[in-house]
Structure 1
Amino acid sequence: MPRTARVKTDESIFHIMCKSISEVTLFKDDEDKKRYLLLIKKYKTLHNFKLYGYCLMDNHAHLMIDANGCDISKIMHGINFSYAMYFNRKYKREGHLFKDRFKSKIVYNDRYLRTLSLYVHNNPTDIIEYKDSPEKFTFSSLSIFLGKTTDSFNLVDYVFVMSLFGDNLKSARKNYYNLLFRCNEEKLEQEMEFEDEKTDYNSERNILIRDFKPDDILEFISFKMNISKIHFYTKYSRKCVKAKALAVVLMRSLCNFKSKDISNTLGNITQARISRLSTICIGLIGTEEKYRNIIDDFIKCYS
């Protein structure tokens, strides 16, 4: 039977569910879960989407993703394909890891988003150890929502969701915690199954329109790094590795460019080289303060 087309829009918030095939545990240890979160961080940098919450159980994962103008399939393919390659190398296996494609549901209104957030964070209550304290489960964003831990992976944009639970963060956290324990998982699942008519989801979100020009990106980086644009087209220039790396990621994120498009723009560089430059840029953004907000800085200059 042919696959049905996935319902999606680039402006949507999605409930993403990923599950391993029945005979394989998706996350065999904590290191696997950490690797998956690091991959989410990598592709969050590349595609500039927003993560509104997560919970990683042993055999499945729940993510709340605001596509923010990007294709959700592109996001999830990158994360899951990279994780499957890591998993198969680590455990010396071959073949598929994930059960079918990832599952996704579009969030259509505030009510659904509130319910979804509680549902995702309720998952650890199935484990006896966390039945009465799901906030202690390490691989869930609940403790970040409640202000009990810091976001060590710098992943979660929780403020938007929490604004639906109270007028200020303190009251929102109190309301959130109370609702979490007033709603058992069965009731939450029933609520999730109930869907209003599919209408536009009106919220205060600003969706990023990814139609920026590559020439503007090169001009911005040239000015930022005090170099000539000619260096982007020089094949062997160590001086420009950082500049090229930044250009690659900004084009992938803000122009919706594929490797072929980037290669045509910068002058016949290979897909493998583009992948290495992407990795270099993610490292720069994660470790060097002057590059940390470079995507946002560009958007402010050229929006």
Structure 2
Amino acid sequence: MPRTERIKSENAIYHIMIRSITEVPLFKKNKDKDIYLEQMRYAQIMYGFKVYAYCIMSNHAHFIIDSNGADISKIMHGLNFKYAMTFNRIHNRHGHVFQDRFKSKIVDTDRYLITLSAYIHNNPLQISGYENCPERYKYSSLKVYLGLEKDDSGLLDEAYIMQMMGPSVSKARDRYLKLVYMCDKEKLKNEIEFEDEKTEYRSERKILVRDFEPEKVIEFISQETGIDKMMIYVKNSRNTKAVRALAVLLMRSLCNLKIKNICEVLGNITESRVSKLCSIGVELVSTEDRYKDIVQQFVSQQVS
């Protein structure tokens, strides 16, 4: 039977669920969970999507992802392919890791969004030792929601959901924890009432445009770095590697270009080299203060 077409929208928030094939845990060790989150953060820097909640179990995981103008299939297929390759290498195995495609459902109301996040954070209650303290489970975003830990990775935006939970941070956290403990899922759906009051949480949805011309990216990178734009087309130049890497990252993120399309733009460059440059670009944005806001700077300049 042919697969049904996935329902998706560039402006959507998704409930994403991944699951392992029957005979293999998706995450054998905690290190595997760390790796998946690290690789998701890498993909997030490249595509600019937002993660509102997550919980990773041994054989499956749930995420709430705001695609923020990007293609959710491109995000998840790339992420899961990379993780499967890493998992097989680490555990000395071959073959499939994931059970079929990732599952996705569009979150179409705020009520559903909050209910879903509580359901996801409710998962650790099934684990021995966490029946009365799901907030202690390491691989769930609940601990960040409740202010028990900070998300130093930059992966999570918990404020978008928590700003809907009450007139202050402390009241929102208290109310949210009570919501998570409600095991009756029908009651969970009916209990929550929204308030329109301002809160101390601040998070807005601003969808990134993804149809910029690559020539605009090259001009911008040239202006920002002081490197002649013709040098960005020069292959194997040590002096321009970082500049080319930033250009590739922005083209991958904001121009809706595949790797082969970027090869055509830059000319005389292999797909493997483009992938490597994209990785270097992600590293630069992650570690260099002068580049950390370069995506936002480019978008602001183009729309102003």
- TM-score range, shorter-chain basis? over 0.9
C-alpha contact 1:37 1:153 (8 A) present in aligned 2: no
Q: Which amino acid aligns with 1:217?
A: V
Unaligned stretches of 5+ in structure 1?
Answer: 193-202
How much has 1:170 moved relative to structure 2? 2.8
Aligned to 1:187: 185
Give distance in 2, aligned partners of 1:51 and 1:300. 22
Give distance in 2, aligned partners of 1:120 and 1:133. 14
Give distance in 2, aligned partners of 1:288 and 1:34. 23
Aligned ranges 1:50-65 → 2 under 5 Å: 50-65=50-65
How much has 1:168 moved relative to structure 2? 3.2
Give distance in 1, aligned partners of 2:97 and 2:180. 32
Aligned to 1:300: 300
Give distance in 2, aligned partners of 1:94 and 1:269. 31
Q: Which amino acid aligns with 2:245?
A: A
Aligned to 1:33: 33
Cα 1:285–1:30, aligned 2, differ >3 Å: closer, same or farther?
same
Moved over 2 A (4+): 167-171, 188-192, 203-206
Aligned to 1:171: 171
How much has 1:3 moved relative to structure 2? 0.6
C-alpha contact 1:49 1:66 (8 A) present in aligned 2: yes
Matched, 1:112 2:135: no
Cα 1:269–1:224, aligned 2, differ >3 Å: closer, same or farther?
same
Q: Which moved more, 1:164-173 or 1:39-48?
A: 164-173
How much has 1:31 moved relative to structure 2? 0.8
Aligned to 2:42: 42
In the superposition, the TM-score normalised over structure 2's length comes to: 0.92
Give distance in 2, aligned partners of 1:242 and 1:292. 14
C-alpha contact 1:119 1:189 (8 A) present in aligned 2: no
C-alpha contact 1:115 1:188 (8 A) present in aligned 2: no
C-alpha contact 2:115 2:188 (8 A) present in aligned 1: no
Give distance in 2, aligned partners of 1:56 and 1:141. 9
Deviations 1:226-245 (A, max 9, x none): 11001111112111110111
Give distance in 2, aligned partners of 1:218 and 1:188. 53
Give distance in 2, aligned partners of 1:191 and 1:32. 33
- Secondary structure of the corresponding residue to residue 130 of structure 1: coil
C-alpha contact 1:13 1:65 (8 A) present in aligned 2: yes
- Secondary structure of the corresponding residue to residue 65 of structure 1: strand
Give distance in 2, aligned partners of 1:164 and 1:261. 41
Deviations 1:36-92 (A, max 9, x none): 001100100111111111111010010110011111100000110000000111111
How much has 1:218 moved relative to structure 2? 0.9
Give distance in 1, aligned partners of 2:69 and 2:150. 27
Deviations 1:155-174 (A, max 9, x none): 00111111111233332222
Aligned ranges 1:1-150 → 2 under 5 Å: 1-150=1-150
Q: Which amino acid aligns with 2:185?
A: K
Matched, 1:152 2:174: no
- Secondary structure of the corresponding residue to residue 106 of structure 1: strand
How much has 1:8 moved relative to structure 2? 0.7
Give distance in 1, aligned partners of 2:226 and 2:204. 37
- Secondary structure of the corresponding residue to residue 62 of structure 1: strand
C-alpha contact 1:17 1:61 (8 A) present in aligned 2: yes
- Secondary structure of the corresponding residue to residue 25 of structure 2: coil
Unaligned stretches of 5+ in structure 2?
Answer: 191-202
Q: Which amino acid aligns with 1:187?
A: K
Give distance in 2, aligned partners of 1:122 and 1:188. 14
Aligned to 1:205: 205
C-alpha contact 1:119 1:188 (8 A) present in aligned 2: no
Cα 1:218–1:50, aligned 2, differ >3 Å: closer, same or farther?
same
Q: Which amino acid aligns with 1:32?
A: D
In the superposition, the TM-score normalised over structure 1's length comes to: 0.92
Cα 1:257–1:99, aligned 2, differ >3 Å: closer, same or farther?
same
Give distance in 1, aligned partners of 2:19 and 2:187. 18
Aligned to 2:196: none
The count of aligned residue pairs is: 291
How much has 1:188 moved relative to structure 2? 5.8
